[in-house]
């Protein structure tokens, strides 16, 4: 079928393109064309989705039947997609758990029991919830919204897992939060991408919490896998949460994937029953981490492609040095 990927040249979108080609679809991508090109065999359509004329112009000679939308970050982008693509038979929208008013901290129960944002704030979660409503109303029956959790894997330009891999590979003593037992759940971009393509083909509709199963690993388990795949001799230096916060270490940003205990207790508790019933798979974590590490070594981290401003992940070297020094002095 004629399948349009809104996005498609970075991270998740790139894997969606690969999955759609593998399923034999006639694939087009729609991007501004500033951050890379799709692979050979894909129709590269160009325009800025914040411009209301761009999609109609680009699609004048090629009308998609199915859409996978990985790149919607603004309200204008949502309205423009709703206006231009209302007639498709299937539309898979990549949303986020942030669309839920109560997440974080969560927990997140079954999709239909949890309210989403309905405010006017120009913010990530409210914008995703707005986009779900606007595009969902335009497309009707064939609209699927995948509320993704933490997405990881090769081509991840956000670089949260990537930062840990690079830091751990350098070895020596590594500051880690004293919360290694904290649960964590991730979804490999390739698992999510191939599921999105088959789900949109099959006409799956409604909302789906699209992340790994609760309890699939812990923060410590994930860091151990990073140490294993990088062959590092890194030694963990667990620093108590109070010390990290007192030193202005920002959870999630300076130490990616770490959340303070009060939030972590519920934030990783997401009901993914529907995703499992609908066939979203979870490959072994070691495979995700090893493939991300191989890709990073070959390609290096690409420039950040997304529109929303994201803080640069990672613990600044001086902050790490001072935490290590303080820890050395601790009784
Ligand atoms: N990373 C996570 O853990 C996480 C968690 C939950 C949900 N999500 C969601 O998952 C999706 C991640 O997908 P992704 O990484 O493939 O997408 P993305 O980073 O949101 O978008 C990048 C793609 O969109 C294109 N693009 C950017 N601005 C554009 C514009 N104004 N008009 C047209 N195209 C534009 C880019 O190409 P050009 O630069 O050439 O235009 C590129 O192909 C996002 O929607 C994100 O919000 C992510």
Residue 244 phi/psi, 5-degree rounding, is: -65, -45
- Distance CA(275)–CA(158), nearest Å, equals 24
Could you give the angle at which helices 285-299 and 160-169 cross, rounded to 10 degrees? 80
103 and 156 Cβ atoms separated by less than 8 Å: no
Q: Cβ atoms within 10 A of the Cβ of 172, count?
A: 12
**H or E element: which one contains 317?**
helix 317-329
Superfamily of domain 2-151+186-210: NAD(P)-binding Rossmann-like Domain (3.40.50.720)
What is the 147 CA–ligand 1 centroid distance (Å)? 14
What is the 228 CA–ligand 1 centroid distance (Å)? 30
Our answer on whether the CB atom of 161 is closer than 6 Å to any ligand 1 atom is: no
The answer, as to whether pTM is greater than 0.75, is yes
175: β partners: 237
Radius of gyration of the chain (CA): 20
Q: Tell me the CATH number for domain 154-184+216-267+284-329.
A: 3.90.25
Of 226, 220, 227, the residue nearest 183 (C-alpha):
220
What is the 73 CA–ligand 1 centroid distance (Å)? 8
In the three-class reduction of DSSP (H, G, I as helix; E, B as strand; rest coil), residue 272 is classed as coil
Our answer on whether the CB atom of 98 is closer than 6 Å to any ligand 1 atom is: no
- Distance CA(4)–CA(66), nearest Å, equals 6
7 and 33 Cβ atoms separated by less than 8 Å: no
What DSSP string describes 216-254? Answer: SEEHHHHHHHHHHHHT---EEEEE-HHHHHHTTPPBTTT
Our answer on whether the CB atom of 287 is closer than 6 Å to any ligand 1 atom is: no
**H or E element: which one contains 94?**
strand 90-96
177: β partners: 239
Of 30, 18, 142, 31, the residue nearest 90 (C-alpha):
142
Q: How many residues does the chain have?
A: 331
Both structure tokens of 35:
């951050």
In the three-class reduction of DSSP (H, G, I as helix; E, B as strand; rest coil), residue 11 is classed as helix
Our answer on whether the CB atom of 8 is closer than 6 Å to any ligand 1 atom is: yes
Q: Where are the domains of the chain?
A: 2-151+186-210, 154-184+216-267+284-329
What is the 61 CA–ligand 1 centroid distance (Å)? 25
Both structure tokens of 324:
């290590």
- Distance CA(76)–CA(118), nearest Å, equals 16
Tens digit of pLDDT at every position of the chain (331 positions): 999 999 999 999 999 999 999 999 999 999 999 988 999 999 999 999 999 999 999 999 999 999 999 999 999 999 999 999 999 999 999 999 999 999 999 999 999 999 999 999 999 999 999 999 999 999 999 999 999 999 999 999 999 999 999 999 999 999 999 999 999 999 999 999 999 999 999 999 999 999 999 989 999 999 999 999 999 999 999 999 999 999 999 999 999 999 999 999 999 999 999 999 999 999 999 999 999 999 999 988 777 655 456 788 999 999 999 999 998 754 4
125 and 189 Cβ atoms separated by less than 8 Å: no
Cis ω before 104 (30° cut-off from 0)? yes
Q: What tens digit of pLDDT does each residue of 102-154 get?
A: 999 999 999 999 999 999 999 999 999 999 999 999 999 999 999 999 999 99
Q: What is the DSSP letter of 283?
A: -
């Amino acid at each position: 079928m004629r399948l349009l990927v809104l996005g498609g040249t970075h991270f998740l979108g790139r894997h969606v393109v690969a999955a759609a080609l593998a399923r034999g679809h006639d694939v087009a991508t729609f991007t501004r064309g500033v951050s890379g090109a799709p692979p050979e065999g894909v129709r590269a359509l160009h325009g800025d989705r914040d411009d209301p004329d761009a999609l109609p112009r680009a699609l004048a000679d090629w009308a998609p039947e199915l859409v996978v939308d990985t790149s919607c970050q603004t309200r204008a982008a949502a309205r423009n997609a709703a206006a231009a693509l209302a007639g498709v038979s299937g539309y898979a929208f990549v949303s986020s758990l942030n669309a839920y008013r109560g997440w974080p901290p969560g927990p997140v129960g079954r999709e239909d029991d949890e309210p989403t944002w309905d405010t006017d704030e120009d913010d990530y979660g409210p914008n995703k919830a707005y986009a779900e409503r606007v595009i969902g109303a335009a497309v009707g029956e064939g609209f699927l919204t995948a509320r993704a959790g933490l997405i990881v894997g090769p081509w991840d330009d956000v670089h949260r897992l990537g930062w840990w891999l690079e830091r751990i590979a350098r070895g020596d003593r590594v500051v880690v939060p004293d919360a290694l037992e904290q649960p964590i759940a991730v979804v490999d971009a390739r698992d999510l991408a191939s599921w999105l393509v088959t789900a949109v083909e099959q006409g799956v509709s409604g909302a789906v919490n699209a992340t790994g199963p609760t309890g699939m690993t812990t923060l410590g388990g994930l860091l151990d896998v990073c140490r294993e795949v990088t062959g590092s001799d890194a030694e963990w230096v667990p620093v108590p949460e109070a010390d990290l916060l007192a030193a202005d270490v920002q959870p999630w940003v300076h130490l990616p994937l770490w959340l303070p205990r009060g939030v972590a207790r519920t934030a990783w508790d997401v009901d993914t029953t529907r995703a499992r019933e609908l066939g979203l798979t979870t490959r072994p974590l070691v495979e995700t981490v090893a493939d991300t590490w191989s890709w990073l070594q070959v390609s290096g981290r690409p420039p950040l492609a997304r529109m929303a401003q994201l803080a640069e992940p990672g613990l600044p070297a001086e902050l790490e040095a001072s935490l290590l020094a303080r820890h050395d002095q601790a009784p």
